Structure 1
């Protein structure tokens, strides 16, 4: 089922975005790593919302939301997401 594959792919994007900085901060809870973990969690909201939309039966909306990732990355370079 293509919808299920899309949901799995978007969920994997969420995990890939959120997990590494959280794991690093958990292993070494320093202020800079904690700040990166919080920023990673904020940036991971886009793939999470995309996965939830796809899971709810709106795959086009999920892909459209995922299309916001490049914009979020460029804005995060100019303004801190936290």
Structure 2
């Protein structure tokens, strides 16, 4: 996955272009977060896109980061500190 990072960033960073490609890449990345190593790479991509993306794309990246935090609480994620419901109670 790390080898695909430049390509994925290129697709996700296109402004006013490539809506279908962005959607497919985002869906692909969100489906690949089962393994912690892959989830870490996806989290880096999504964290970068959260601060640079349009308002249309931003919720997808935030939801992806939330899902990664839920599946892999051991990963340190930028912008996000996941607390389980037991801790909040």
TM bin, normalised by shorter chain, reads 0.3 to 0.5
Q: TM-score, normalised by structure 1?
A: 0.36
Larger Rg: 1
TM-score, structure 2 normalization: 0.34
Q: Which of the two has greater helix per residue? A: 1
Considering Cα pairs closer than 8 Å and 6+ residues apart, tell me whether 1 or 2 has the greater RCO.
Answer: 1
